[in-house]
Structure 1
Amino acid sequence: MEIDRFINVINKSLPRVANDIPEKNKLNSFFPMRTKGNEFEWDNVIGIILRTLLRKKIENYSYERFIKDCQLSFGNKLGEEEFWNTINEMYFENKDIFNISPEMLLFHSQKGEYAQSDDRFASLFINLMKGTKIQEFTRNVNFIEREIIKVFTKNTKNYEFDSLTEDAYLPYLSFVFIKDLNFLSSRPNYFLSEIKKFLSFYLFTYTAQISLALGDWKVAEEPQSKPLYFIMDHERASNERTHIRNHGYKLFQDSCYKIFPILTMLELLQADNGKNSKKTPLWAILRKIKETEYNDVSEHLKDFAHAFRTQRELNIEFNQPINQATHWLEEIIKLAMAQFQVGHRVNINKRYVKDIEQIIAKGFFQSRGRSGRVLILNQDQIVLLTNLAVNNNERIRFQDLIISFQQRGVYFDKQSQQELIKFYDRIGNVERMSDSGDAIYVRKTI
């Protein structure tokens, strides 16, 4: 049984004496950022994602070799060198081939082309994809581009995708991500123009939503989208807007302080999870514990809590001991947070949150004077989210659109919703049956 396997993992993996607990906190699951080395290249991340999405890869195939192969192929067909010179100028000199079809980005997925950090950030999206695969991109290309793709395809190989290493921490977000990715993949040109913006948004919303979910783990149920309020980047912000003030940037920032402490503790709880086992979210651990009456789990967690407190030299009293696993798991999470409130670890977590702000949240907040920082979306981001929400429909009701935004972690108060309608009016993709939200329909822009 799954619950038996899980209990055995807990009993086997938890260090029960202080000397067995690692001095450093390590994070390998559910989030890509580490305490250093977090810079990454989007082109490389996209290439790695496409390798999994297409189950195709290229190896040891340089761009220069590809150009020579294309020159040879066109030479055999065209026969005149000046034709090749024109093709070379059109497609290869400025690397315009990457605008032909998304598959070309597989060049960036070759070993040696990408860094470890690129691989980590790509893994976040690959886990969100949950094994999603597409056969190929539908191409609308001319005969020259068709020949270039043919040469490229000859040098690709099938890629065997390893099983996922972790269960989805946010299943609801994984669901809409897959839906949106399939929508983009069915429109290769739109995919190429929007993929960086698309992934940047999902990286941010995943970060925000997991940070909020980590504080809600005791519910022991699958997380649902948590309210986080944005405004359009041209809007004025004021302290009277309570949703923006109480459930906006400050909530996001405060919640981010939970990410590293809790996820590194979660890593310790499953240190010996087995070669073919997936890492389990914290809310799922608690749910499984509640499903069992294994008393020895409580003893293991109790021993671990005491050992961790000793190893980290934390001056914290436990609450009145109760011989329940759920009680000791709660004490362990308190210890996870407490260790970053004293000594040098305070600065470690501060730098970690600062990196989140500078690397992941960049472009999603602005400083607005007395109102402080607010979460924002610009017009390009809103158009993309609108197209994703409308998806393959001709149009959807405005209120359904708002619900679709919320499923993706984006909430607007009533004032921002009115600004959103004005924006749709200006770009001409709204149909009004009346002035009420129920009678306003929004179309795609593509």
Structure 2
Amino acid sequence: MTIDKFQHPININLPQSTESVPNKNSLNSYLPIRTKGNDFDWNAVIGLVLRGLMRKKIEKYTYEQFTNDCKLAFEAKLGEEEFWDVLQEMYFDNKDIFSVSPELLLFRAQKGEFSAGDARVASMFTSLLQSSPPKKFDAKLNFIEKEMLDTLRNKMSDDSSLKTTEKPYLPFLSDAFREDLKFLSNRPKYLLNEIQSFLSFYGFTYTAQLSLALPDWRTGKAPSEKPLYFIMDHERASNERIHVKNHGYRLFSESTARLFPMMTMLELLQPEHGIKEAKKVPLWEIAKNIEESNREDLSQRLENFARAFRSQRQLNTSFDEANSALDWLNNIVKLAIAQFSVGERFNINKRYMLEVEKTLASHFIQSRGRSGRVLVLNQDYIILLTNLVVGENEKLRFHELVSGFRQRGIFVDKQTEQELIKFYERIGNVERMSDSGDAVYVRKTI
């Protein structure tokens, strides 16, 4: 067995002394949220995501220059200055041209148009996208809009700067994200209408599913979707609905407590700096590679790190019995959680949890009086998800649709299933062959 085959576990960063263990917890991958400074602009995030999707950019070319170039092009072809005045009012004065094609949104991804926070949030989506082929948009445009878009395309250049620096932690969700974005990309106008809701949904479901998947690292297997229950936003949430009560908001909130502790520890276990093109890897992949490696010193190195970390953080946490490298990795994870259970670090983690909820989850949480908080989907999100799951199919059986929801991290109980069918009947995109779910078909709304 060669060293190269198991480069990641062999090259994980394991300081050998207390002095070399960092005394601060940093988070630079897999999640864009920090303990503060999480404000971001959706317009900039969308522009950056589309830039990564298209692998195109427009730099050193301002919106004003573009407007003037369009003016010159139309004056040369039409020869009527008054006609340009009409076009300028229709498309340019209020930037309504941004609704013509996703390519126009590259103006929002220019240097100086986005902040570090915008870039962090966009990186979460480019990481989900991974290395998908560049996408071209084929919008159905009139002659005038085609001329404007051709003017812009002449100023575009190839861009490979927005590369993903990490392997997907949730491959199942990354696959769904790419498939859904492909569906939207084939319908540019629909994409422009729904891109913010689409990214908002995936930002939340990715964070929720990541928090649920973290404890399963020891399996060494890529996570699958974990149950997390939602209701429609008009439904009642009684305490008798056990899944909604115990496996909805409460489960999400409890799970987010492990995000910052475990993800900051994961930063310390990443491949050593200087390894060419090394991508950051999930904890479950580190465990897999350690299990498959024949390096005899891994257990000792992990033990040394665990003891150095415990000493540096001044923790009195006892170690579980350890007979293998994975046992010592388990002790390291235990320390990661323990350091945030007391003192100021406990407050830091609380602030992080609040930032996650405020920044990525607020559209999916409602307070329901005595029933407490619940996870909800409003009708707009339900229609969007329905269209994405049905995809290129003409229609799907209802139980297949529910299965597609689960693949995207959305679980519903039987009561909500009946409410969904009623909702689809109201908007007219359902065919009911009988009262059973197997005989109910759901169509797209577009």
Amino acid in the other structure paired with 2:7: R
Alpha-carbon distance change, 162 to 200 in structure 1, aligned in 2, over 3 angstroms: closer
Partner secondary structure for residue 441 of structure 2:
strand
Q: How many correspondences in the alignment?
A: 443
Residue matched to 1:308: 309
How far the C-alpha of 1:6 sits from its partner, in A, is 2.1
The aligned counterpart of 2:152 is: 152
Amino acid of the structure 2 residue aligned with 1:155? K
8 Å CA contact retained: 1:35, 1:352:
yes
Residues 119-174 of structure 1: per-residue CA shift (max 9 Å, x gap): 11111111111111344111211111111111111111111356531111000001
> What amino acid does structure 2 have at the position aligned with 1:311?
Q
User: Which whole-Å CA distance do the structure 1 matches of 2:34 and 2:63 have between them?
Assistant: 32
CA distance in 2, matches of 1:135, 1:313: 51
Deviation at 1:342, TM superposition (A): 1.5
Q: Which runs of 4+ in 1 moved over 6 A?
A: none
- The 8 Å contact of residues 14 and 271 in structure 1, kept in 2 or not, is answered as no
Secondary structure at the aligned position of 2:140 is classed as coil
Aligned mate of 1:8, from 7, 10, 15? 10
Partner of 1:353: 353
Rounded to whole Å, the distance in 2 between the matches of 1:30 and 1:7 is 19
Seq. identity, %: 56
Q: Conserved in 1, the CA contact under 8 Å of 2:34 and 2:355? A: no
Secondary structure of 2:121 counterpart: helix
Native 8 Å contact 2:6 2:289 kept in 1: no
- The one-letter code sitting in structure 1 at the alignment partner of 2:393 is N
CA distance in 2 between partners of 1:230 and 1:240 (Å): 15
Whether contact under 8 Å (1:14, 1:270) holds in the other structure is no
Per the TM alignment, residue 75 of structure 1 is displaced from its structure 2 partner at its CA by 1.4
The range that moved more, 322-331 or 95-104, is 322-331
- Partners of 2:366 and 2:151 lie apart in 1 by 46
Tell me if the contact between 1:431 and 1:442 (Cα under 8 Å) persists in the aligned partners.
yes
Pair 1:43–1:162, CA change in 2 (3 A): closer
Does 1:188 find its partner at 2:175? Answer: no
Q: What SS is found at the alignment partner of 2:194?
A: helix
| Helix, strand or coil at the partner of 2:11 | helix
- Bigger mean CA offset, 228-237 vs 1-10: 1-10
Alignment partner of 1:361: what SS? helix
Provide the rounded CA distance (Å) in 2 between the counterparts of 1:186 and 1:36: 37
CA RMSD between the two structures: 1.2
Q: How far apart are the structure 2 equivalents of 1:8 and 1:340?
A: 28
Counterpart for residue 280 of structure 2: 279
Q: Tell me the distance in 1 between the aligned counterparts of 2:50 and 2:428.
A: 34
Matched AA of 1:226: K
Runs of at least 5 residues in structure 1 that lack an aligned partner in the other structure:
none
Map 1:140-219 onto structure 2 (within 5 A): 140-161=140-161, 163-219=163-219
Residue 163 to residue 41, structure 1, CA distance change in 2 (3 Å): closer
Name the TM-score, length of structure 2 as normaliser. 0.97
- Structure 2: distance between partners of 1:276 and 1:224: 27
- Hey, what's the Cα distance between the residues in 2 that align with 1:8 and 1:221? 19
For residues 92-107 of structure 1, what are the structure 2 equivalents within 5 Å? 92-107=92-107
Q: Deviations over 1:287-338 (max 9, x none)?
A: 1111123220111100000000011011112123x34101110000010011
Aligned residue for 2:366, secondary structure, equals strand
2:99 paired with 1:62: no
Q: Distance in 2 between matches of 1:344 and 1:16?
A: 26
Q: Deviations over 1:177-222 (max 9, x none)?
A: 1110000000001000000000000000000000000122222211
SS in structure 2 of the partner of residue 173 of structure 1: helix
* 1:272-292 superposed Cα distances (whole Å, 9 cap, x missing partner): 252411111011111111112
| Cα distance in 2 between the residues matched to 1:406 and 1:4 | 34
Q: Which residue in the other structure is 2:51 paired with?
A: 51
Q: SS of the residue aligned with 1:38?
A: coil
Give the counterpart letter for 1:60 in structure 2. Answer: K
Measured in 2, the distance between the counterparts of 1:32 and 1:199 equals 13
- Which moved further from structure 2: 275-284 or 373-382? 275-284
Q: Match of 1:366, SS?
A: strand
Q: How do residues 39-438 of structure 1 correspond to structure 2 at under 5 angstroms?
A: 39-161=39-161, 163-270=163-270, 272-273=272-273, 274-320=275-321, 322-438=322-438
Q: Distance in 2 between matches of 1:162 and 1:112?
A: 16
